[in-house]
Structure 1
């Protein structure tokens, strides 16, 4: 049950808001002014904050700034009168999730808070975007170095970027880095999760609507494109957009103009678009669920994020980063990760990628007695599942490794055996495909770029296992 903090100096409105939100299943706490609201937020926290814009002493803008400084993942919804709508729009540009005008429509309130709850839940499962641009990205592997190079080259251009990768690989972090490293960094950075918006409401969310455009449209409202003017618009999960909506999005991207729902006036904007998806858009095109012309318009600059299992060398650095982060957040004093635990972390497959690693480190820190995280502190899927299986394989085949067992630690043994198994698997798939790198990468379920990097590491680059030239790509 999501916790909502309602801050409003009008007693009756505060009571009505609380009653409606409790009816919708939320756990509601109320505060009668901004100071009281922030005190409650800092003491007990909240998943969503609903605050009046104009209040004595401490107004909604100050509440917004304080909440975002404490936890930028918490959506803040602004309540405003008709005469201060412009101020509410400025609040959204400053980071507010959305706004509601007085007198508000109950259905609109429920819809906005429900969207905020989904956004907050998604943020809890994701790696939080750090607004220090590229410096927030953790890793030194060749795959991440390639991503750094792309960011450096294209961040300060208006070109559209399409970020692809499995769920939990940090796509929003890359989008934030692109915005933070551009000359638009002081302009709005507007984010929208397309999967969290019902298909029937997506057009009004993107392009806004005029008063009376549909039932419940009691006032005009700008869409995300307008709010992102001169800045960056990040469309996460863009593969979820319905085909009929893709046509309108394509026009907005190509022409830089659109009309609000129910309006006839054309609005022009200067927006840099960054999109992300964990879907295979090429397969979606073949299935008729995604337009080819929109794909090419989005993928001017493609960035493919590797899965964590493809960049195991970055796991120690990432794990140390999360230990430091949650030491501070949870007031713990864990000094680090023991070699046996680190070896298991590197051997694990990480189907949930960086997001799963972060959640695991947080959970382990909560229960670890310290001073180091050891193998016994890790959960069963890591310690007794994939990790133990990998350890058993290592133990069973130590005789095949040309190393003195007594002189090599578990971490090094696991790394060496993992590399050996990885090389054998790549060789096998290259043999099966006649040296075709693209097809081999598809069978291995990694990107072509990642496979090329691995081939170079193992001395296989540009050759098949028998030394012949690399087969033609499809």
Structure 2
């Protein structure tokens, strides 16, 4: 007996549905829908192995529009178009919109079964290839040309014993690139230690990074191993290196040159073997020209340069990223989430994403949780109010009394500022408070009084 496949047949012709069920019972477990709208609702509940879709449906949206909407949400689901009146132009149009095959309305059941099995095999092979990429590159997702170039560079530099400088806007995934370089290098079995240079107050930087001896300063009640020493034989990742003040730049350069550290308050020189990967969201060459970044340190860290593209330059990766973040929040919450409508995906692809992938993740996770129905709509995304360049929010303020407009603007700023602050410090409230220059209780009060 052949493997029984689950298919959804979409047709308003009850005679055809009855005949199909009789002749196909040995090959298929059959589900039926008499309209495109009903078919889309059924797909949200359970995804079959394939869809057999009539081109000319009697009412509501037609077969081609139904196909278009299926493709927007379920891009890999095999769809076979069937019709009583086939013509070349319509067949070409259907194939361009993503139909796997186009057949007469009285198909040979064995042939149809073989076609679906073949297409399922192709989809499974594609998914296996994607899974292999995920195993190699972790949470780095995307098949666009810019991402393929990033994968190529990671593979090339991973085994080369040179320092790496990763450049890119905030939220593009620079630390992910650094982690993948480490994971594919000969140091993979040793620590990967990340330091957010902007999150450590200058007064504490030496103690955190180089370590200190007992009694080195008030409250130094025991010896502390610094981050660089922790990374011995592994990889040291210095994020936002552009934020270091000149004195700390000089001390870091000395460590990189000598490959040795001396703990604060100590005399012992300890050799360290680390590969250094630095990241910056600013143009370091420009910072060198302006005098805010040491030229000798720049040349030390700029062994090989990798530039991570902003999300707006790889919009074709957004549907895949959206599906990934949506599945991840479903796993976290333990419940099935809504699907993103085609219009919502299109809105995500046309938005300019000043916060890049990190902002997309927040939007997708929030919409997945807060959407009222089974589908995430454009309204659920709330993109207009998130855009610094969008006119909607600011136009609304222009028509309010001055004091009310000022209060709303400050409330929005506080929400965005706190969100970015907490994310940058990976949820560590103490570090976030130090970086913001406020007390820990003060930061908690601000978070409690934030509307969004």
TM-score by length of 1: 0.52
Q: Match for residue 314 of structure 2?
A: 311
Say whether the 8 Å CA contact 1:347–1:386 is kept in structure 2. Answer: no
Q: Which is worse superposed, 145-154 or 213-222?
A: 213-222
Q: Match for residue 357 of structure 2?
A: 354
Q: Take 2:194 and 2:147, find their aligned partners in 1: how far apart are those partners? A: 23
Kindly state the Cα deviation for residue 212 of structure 1 after the two structures are TM-superposed. Answer: 2.1
Q: Match for residue 30 of structure 1?
A: none
Residue deviations 1:343-390 (CA, integer Å, cap 9, x gap): 11111111111111000011101121343322232215179998999x
Kindly state the Cα deviation for residue 150 of structure 1 after the two structures are TM-superposed. Answer: 0.9
* The one of 122, 129, 143 aligned to 1:140: 143
Q: Take 1:142 and 1:296, find their aligned partners in 2: how far apart are those partners? A: 29
Q: Take 1:374 and 1:383, find their aligned partners in 2: how far apart are those partners? A: 16
Kindly state the Cα deviation for residue 313 of structure 1 after the two structures are TM-superposed. Answer: 1.0
Matches for 1:105-254 after TM superposition, within 5 Å: 134-254=137-257
Change (3 A) 1:225 1:347: same
* The one of 267, 272, 278 aligned to 2:270: 267
Say whether the 8 Å CA contact 2:163–2:304 is kept in structure 1. Answer: yes
Kindly state the Cα deviation for residue 131 of structure 1 after the two structures are TM-superposed. Answer: 10
Residue deviations 1:265-285 (CA, integer Å, cap 9, x gap): 211011011111112212211
Kindly state the Cα deviation for residue 331 of structure 1 after the two structures are TM-superposed. Answer: 2.8
Q: Take 1:131 and 1:191, find their aligned partners in 2: how far apart are those partners? A: 22
Kindly state the Cα deviation for residue 133 of structure 1 after the two structures are TM-superposed. Answer: 5.2
What SS does the aligned partner of 2:236 have?
A: strand
Change (3 A) 1:188 1:384: closer
What are structure 2's unaligned runs of at least 5 residues?
1-132, 393-452
Q: Which has the larger radius of gyration?
A: 2
Q: Match for residue 398 of structure 1?
A: none
Q: Match for residue 461 of structure 1?
A: none
Say whether the 8 Å CA contact 1:170–1:354 is kept in structure 2. Answer: yes
* The one of 384, 387, 396 aligned to 1:381: 384
What SS does the aligned partner of 1:200 have?
A: helix
Say whether the 8 Å CA contact 1:164–1:171 is kept in structure 2. Answer: yes
Change (3 A) 1:214 1:375: same
What SS does the aligned partner of 1:244 have?
A: helix
Q: Take 2:302 and 2:309, find their aligned partners in 1: how far apart are those partners? A: 17
Say whether the 8 Å CA contact 1:164–1:305 is kept in structure 2. Answer: yes
Q: Take 1:385 and 1:182, find their aligned partners in 2: how far apart are those partners? A: 40
Kindly state the Cα deviation for residue 332 of structure 1 after the two structures are TM-superposed. Answer: 3.4
TM-score by length of 2: 0.54
Q: Take 1:248 and 1:182, find their aligned partners in 2: how far apart are those partners? A: 27
Say whether the 8 Å CA contact 1:334–1:365 is kept in structure 2. Answer: yes
What SS does the aligned partner of 2:298 have?
A: helix
Change (3 A) 1:386 1:255: closer
Answer yes or no: is 1:298 the counterpart of 2:314. no
Matches for 1:64-79 after TM superposition, within 5 Å: none
What SS does the aligned partner of 1:350 have?
A: coil
Q: Take 1:342 and 1:190, find their aligned partners in 2: how far apart are those partners? A: 36
Q: Take 2:390 and 2:295, find their aligned partners in 1: how far apart are those partners? A: 42
Change (3 A) 1:209 1:343: same
Say whether the 8 Å CA contact 1:190–1:232 is kept in structure 2. Answer: yes
Change (3 A) 1:185 1:383: closer
Please report the RMSD computed on the Cα atoms of aligned residues, expressed in angstroms: 2.4
